[in-house]
Chain A
Amino acid sequence: MSSQKHNIRPKASTMGGGSKLGYFLSRALQNLRSNRMVTILTVSTITIAILIISLFMLMYVNLEGTIEQWSRKVVVTVYFDKEPAPQDLMSLKGRITSLSGTESITTVSKEEALKRFRSRLKGQESLLEGVSPDILPSSIEITLKKEFRSTDAVNIYVARLKKLQGVGEVQYGEEWVRKFMLFFQFVRILGALIALFLVLSVVFIVSNTIRLTIFARKDELEILALVGATPFFIKAPFLIEGMLQGAVGSLLAVSLLSAGYFTILSNAGNFLTFNPADAGLVFLPASYIAALVSGGVLIGFIGSLASLKKFITI
């Protein structure tokens, strides 16, 4: 009789894939509720960690925007020895515009050049009394596309520009461009190093927090293994918990950042003596927000997975 009883016991899972996922999800939610303090601790840690990274990203995005604005000052100027005929000027402007790397061009007449000169001599305008605009050359100012603003790219552009018929003297402030590009490179490398350091610190802190929380529940892992749970069955709810905590933590971080930005930082120009960006501080693009939330979920998942490996020894 007893052996018959043994035979009718279902020993293998009869759940389908969908109901299994449903079971893991409901188990994960129950675990989060029943381990409330531990959950709050983990979510808080992830929130703070992601907030630190998002603040750095906000700073970096705005710094890069400022540098991008400054780089627009890389202007190549073509001077004319004598005023070209209107149709020649038109033809030259067309050729320069069609040159690869040209973003926009501005014609500066002799009168405009004198006006600019006068404004630079503010307070000493009398020095230019009686001076006719004819002493200054007219010119074309060329703003380059972003990818043509590096030292090497400017040199190549200028070499091609000089080959155009009708182009005389060309100036572009080589030394300024070189120094500016060095500064730009320095900011990028420093930013990448700080970002790497921050990400490593965050991964270390979050994964250790998760490890502590899983350590606190090692009895549960032991009991599950004892009653015949497969490693996947044991891990799945913990991994879902990790991802949910990561998602909630990163969404909270993004919400806090948004609140901080829209209440204080968006009006920074009104109270900062130095406003780095003409358009004020900008918020993170949607792709960065998506990356932050995905990063939070990933940290929760990897932190849980790495910790579980230590404690599941079936």
Chain B
Amino acid sequence: MIELHNVTVRYQTDAPALSSVSITIPKGDFVFLTGSSGAGKSTLLKLVYGAVQPVYGHVVVDGQNVTRMSRRQIPFLRRNIGVVFQDFKLLQNRSVFDNVAITLEVLGWEHNDIKKKVFHTLKRLGIEHKLDVPPIRLSGGEQQRVALARALVNEPRILLADEPTGNLDENNKDQILQIFKEANLRGTTVLIASHDRRVIHSGHHRVVHLEKGVLQESGNVQSKA
């Protein structure tokens, strides 16, 4: 469960990036976070994985108050959260395997277990044949699948995505969205920041709308499909 209680975030002296935002996302929910550029979508995601601290309010993730966590505790919070970005954030000088294995290496898994788990995850996402290829030689859709594999390989409780389909064509958008839905079916709470109407209307999901750092509405959207 993700809870934001009256959260305000301010970067230096500018207007607040988020202003008194309160929201509760139950465990296993699938939520789209919408709004124009600069509305505060990315900031809200960063609050959840502890990359940003609010000036007011509290952020509670899985019962733990993130705002009260020390810097030492943040890594352990992140081990239960997968994060995916529009620009994939892959290590271009390493193979697909290495990019995905990094999540399990951090957790201290043994090499043989890592090999099996990474292969299994890549197979689930349909890119197991690209195991030894560096990401630079993959298409945008394949790179996003590698990024998703890295986020999902340790089966996190929460999956966050910041404009995950922003660099993809229509066909790849659908495939990537399907992976999010499958993860959600396995029990993972999914929170996707996007302003792509086609993606947002791809199913019956809750939509949270932000405008200039203020929560405007929170409701369900009916699939247009």
Contacts and interface: CB of A to CB of B under 8 A. Distances in A.
B115 to A, nearest CB: 15
Interface in B69-92: 71-72, 74-80, 83, 89-91
A224 B188 CA distance: 22
Contacts of A3: 187
A226 B83 CA distance: 7
A231 B79 CA distance: 14
A11 B79 contact: yes
Instruction: State the main secondary structure of chain B at its contact with A.
Output: loop
Contacts of B186: 2, 5
B30 to A, nearest CB: 14
Interface string A20-43: 100100010000001100000000
A99 to B, nearest CB: 66
30 contacts: A2-B187, A9-B154, A10-B107, A10-B108, A10-B109, A11-B76, A11-B79, A11-B80, A12-B108, A13-B108, A14-B108, A14-B109, A14-B110, A23-B105, A219-B91, A220-B91, A222-B89, A223-B89, A223-B91, A226-B89, A227-B102, A227-B106, A228-B75, A228-B77, A228-B106, A228-B107, A229-B106, A231-B75, A233-B106, A314-B75
Contacts, number: 77
Nearest to A16: B108
B121 to A, nearest CB: 13
A227 B110 contact: no
B74 to A, nearest CB: 5
B24 interface: no
A65 to B, nearest CB: 50
Contact of B107 (A12, A222, A226): A12
A11 B103 CA distance: 10
Interface residues of B, number: 31
B76 A228 contact: yes
A6 B155 contact: yes
Given A11-B80, A34-B93, A219-B91, A314 B74 contact: yes
A7 to B, nearest CB: 10
B83 to A, nearest CB: 6
A92 interface: no
Interface of B: 49, 71-72, 74-80, 83, 89-91, 93-94, 102-103, 105-110, 150, 154-155, 157, 186-188
A226 B49 contact: yes
Contact of A223 (B102, B154, B155): B102
A236 to B, nearest CB: 12
A23 B154 CA distance: 19
Contact of A5 (B49, B150, B187): B187
A5 B75 contact: no
A225 B150 CA distance: 13
Contacts of B83: 226
Given A2-B186, A226-B89, A233-B106, A9 B74 contact: no
Nearest to B93: A34
B93 A227 contact: no
Contacts of B103: 227-228
Contacts of A185: none
A5 B106 contact: no
A111 to B, nearest CB: 84
B153 to A, nearest CB: 9
A12 B80 CA distance: 11
In the A-B complex, the 7 residue pairs with the smallest Cβ-Cβ separation, listed nearest first, are A2-B187, A13-B108, A228-B79, A228-B78, A15-B108, A229-B106, A227-B103
B125 to A, nearest CB: 17
A34 B94 contact: yes
A230 interface: yes
A35 B93 contact: yes
Nearest to B92: A219
Contacts of A219: 89, 91
